[in-house]
Amino acid sequence: MVKRPFRRQKVADALLGYLFISPVILVIGTFTFFSMIYAFYLSFTKFDMFSSPLWTGLQNYRLLLGNPDFKRAMLNTVYYAVGVVPTQTLIAIGLAVLLNQKARGIPFFRAAYFVPTITSTVAASFIFMWLFLKQGVINHTLSLLHLPADNSWLENPLTAMPVLMLSAIWGTAPHFMVIFLAALQDIPQTVYEAVEIDGANTWQSFRHVTLPLLRPAIFLVAVLGTIGTFQVFDQMYIMTRGGPLDSTTSVVFLIWRTAFQDFNMGYASAMAVVLFAIIYALTILQRRTIDTNIQF
Amino acid sequence: MRTLQSQEIAAKERPHTGQPQKERLQKERPRPGRRLTYTITVYALLVIIAAITLAPLAYTISGSFKTNAGVLEWPPRLIPKPPVTSNYAEVWNSSPLFPRWIVNSVFLALVHVAAELFFASLAGYAFARMKFPGRDLIFMIMLGTLMIPPPVTVVSKYIIVARLGWVNTYLGVIMPTLVTVFGVFLMTQFIRAIPKDLDEAATIDGCSRFGIYWRIVLPLSKPALSALAIFAFKDSWNEFMWSLTVLNSPELFTLPLGLNYFRGQFYTFWNLVLAGSMFNIAPILIVFIIFQRYFIKGIAMSGLKG
């Protein structure tokens, strides 16, 4: 007899638990979980938003294999990732090591370095467009150094992408700097004292102690950076519209254009599924390495 | 060659030969000259890098106080001559839409922050403290969705929103990110670390589940809530791609969308474009200056979430 109300209370408590998580389940379930399954389904259909989806099997994927625009967008995205990730990772390490020095006023500099990451992509894009105008600050600086200074950076297919890369590096390197800073502060001071006693100089202790101990963080940042660069869209939309001559069309930009300008929803979904497969592979790679590598 | 090697070995072995104590004392008090060189190098680097990092922003602020002739002047100067404040008024009055975009952005950001804080902490409390069948499985699946990058589902999400009749409405903008997995994860981890004694005492005193969440757990979660609030505000304030996809009436635009639209009309007036950007940059910069330690803590937390 005592048991019964207790059990009822337990059931009521469980129901309350479901109630508490229901908003999250509804939102994530609909707009992420179901949305991903729906994207898979759409990738096997022809769908223009106006008539109902028509099942076409693997047709979209077959078309995708021979599509030069998709190949171009993939190559552009890889180029962008290769241009951004190693550079921003190195800069982030450099900034973190510098901020890890013992000097007065470090918190001020840390805040100053962090400012670009809070600038929106829209504002950052405008700033870089303006700096790289033909009569802009960058060309002026180049002319002071007696270098060729009449390039219209964003209208030149060779230089448009590097400008987008620079704006991305400017905006995200400080974000990863914080991750390195946390990793550096986790390295016990005793390790440095030990190598100092062994007669190591600053460079040697950096090369043989700091860098190896930062390896998990470097890997994490490299993978997170790659995943991020594979999703680039805003800068292309705002600064170049994928041009000139499609030299800055990224995969996500192509997906967006295919879906919302050509209303080819099924085809765009197939591209999205391929992109997902690539990013998923990178994430798995990251998880595996993090699990085995995290302790030192 | 051989002598060098033996010297190296000797140097390495010295700590074991009875001198380490003395050498450590010397190390702790380095020669003042060397210490000074080190300090000067560190500060020089700190200042040079700060200049490079902040230069784009400095030129933007300066450009927003220049005349249209001044902003395209060759050579460009950092200090406007003469400085004008008319750009800001001109942008503000350029169309009745401009103040609206700011109001829209503020509104959406406030709704997003409030919803994220409430729903994420409520779910976090349930995941951390309550028992119900399937709890851990649901939590795992939820974390698994972190692997789905938002741009991958932009098309299917748009079609779902269209089916719900939410295209070109704020519901369509808000609902997909009403509460985020990152927020729930952060809150769950944080609440798990709060000692249970307090809520157990409250249960004995007859406090309801919601009462415990609201009166005990929530006040103790302030550090996590602050970090989450700031991130939610930043994400909403700077968001571009999704609102671009959902909204098409200029009067509903957020400030980033509006600025892009504005630039389409005033693309030759860089002084106005830069002044317009300042409306986007300044509020988040002020929030950052006030709450910067939470920003940096939040990134460290999100970076380690794996």
Residue A120 has pLDDT above 50, yes or no: yes
Minimal C-alpha gap between A108 and chain B (Å): 10
Q: How far apart are CA A36 and CA B155, in angstroms?
A: 10
Determine, for residues B156 and A199 on separate chains, whether the beta-carbon distance falls below 8 Å: no
Q: Determine contact: A166 vs chain B, CB below 8 A.
A: no
Please count the residues of chain A. 296
Out of B122, B277, B281, whose CB is closest to A20?
B122
Please report residues of A whose CB lies closer than 8 A to that of B162: 49
Q: Determine contact: A281 vs chain B, CB below 8 A.
A: no
Q: For CA atoms B13, B17, B20, B23, give the dihedral sign.
A: negative
Determine, for residues A272 and B153 on separate chains, whether the beta-carbon distance falls below 8 Å: yes
Crossing angle of the two packed helices A121-131 and B270-304, in degrees rounded to 10: 130
Domain boundaries, chain B: 17-89, 94-304
Is B94-304 in CATH node 1.10.3720.10?
A: yes
What confidence category does residue A249 fall into, taking pLDDT thresholds of 50, 70 and 90?
Answer: very high
Q: How far apart are CA A274 and CA A251, in angstroms?
A: 10
Confidence (pLDDT) at B6 = 40
What confidence category does residue A5 fall into, taking pLDDT thresholds of 50, 70 and 90?
Answer: low
Q: How far apart are CA A231 and CA B302, in angstroms?
A: 18
Q: Determine contact: A90 vs chain B, CB below 8 A.
A: no
Residue of chain A with shortest Cα separation from B178: A27
Out of A103, A227, A255, whose CB is closest to B39?
A103
Residue closest to B105 by CA, chosen among B231, B227, B290, B239 = B239
For B258, phi then psi, to 5°, come to: -60, -40
ipTM for this model: 0.89
Out of A17, A47, A128, whose CB is closest to B126?
A17
Most confident of A138-147, A267-276, B282-291: A267-276
Residue of chain A with shortest Cα separation from B162: A49
Out of B50, B145, B304, whose CB is closest to A113?
B50
Crossing angle of the two packed helices B86-93 and B270-304, in degrees rounded to 10: 80
3-state SS string over chain A? CCHHHHHHHHHHHHHHHHHHHHHHHHHHHHHHHHHHHHHHHHCCEECCCCCCCEECCCHHHHHHHCCHHHHHHHHHHHHHHHHHHHHHHHHHHHHHHHHCCCCCCHHHHHHHHHHHHHCCHHHHHHHHHHHCCCCCHHHHHHHHCCCCCCCCHHHCCCCHHHHHHHHHHHHHHHHHHHHHHHHHHHCCHHHHHHHHHCCCCHHHHHHHHHHHHHHHHHHHHHHHHHHHHCCCCHHHHHHHCCCCCCCCCCHHHHHHHHHHCCCCHHHHHHHHHHHHHHHHHHHHHHHHHHHHHCCC
Confidence (pLDDT) at A257 = 95
| H or E element at residue B278 | helix B270-304
Determine, for residues B123 and A24 on separate chains, whether the beta-carbon distance falls below 8 Å: yes
Which of A119, A175, A184 has the highest number of chain B CBs within 10 A, making it the mutation to test binding with B? Answer: A119
Retrieve residue A203's tokens.
Answer: 């460079």
Confidence (pLDDT) at A141 = 84
Please report residues of B whose CB lies closer than 8 A to that of A143: 75
pTM (predicted TM-score)? 0.86
What confidence category does residue A17 fall into, taking pLDDT thresholds of 50, 70 and 90?
Answer: very high
Determine, for residues A120 and B176 on separate chains, whether the beta-carbon distance falls below 8 Å: no
The stretch A162-179 carries a mean pLDDT of 93
Determine, for residues B281 and A123 on separate chains, whether the beta-carbon distance falls below 8 Å: yes
Q: How far apart are CA A219 and CA A211, in angstroms?
A: 12
- Cβ(A153)–Cβ(A138) below 8 Å: yes
Please count the residues of chain B. 306
pLDDT < 70 regions, chain B: 1-32, 298-306
Please report residues of B whose CB lies closer than 8 A to that of A115: 53-54, 57, 285, 288
Please report residues of A whose CB lies closer than 8 A to that of B303: 176, 178-179, 182, 220, 224
Q: Determine contact: A273 vs chain B, CB below 8 A.
A: yes
pLDDT, tens digit, 9 for 90 and up, residues B37-72: 888 888 999 999 999 899 889 888 998 999 888 887
What confidence category does residue A289 fall into, taking pLDDT thresholds of 50, 70 and 90?
Answer: low
Retrieve residue B149's tokens.
Answer: 């990058």
Minimal C-alpha gap between A158 and chain B (Å): 22
Q: What is the dihedral of CA A159, A161, A166, A169, to 10 degrees?
A: -160
Q: For residue A253, how far is the Cα from the chain centroid?
A: 15
Query: What residue has token string 């002020």?
Result: B286
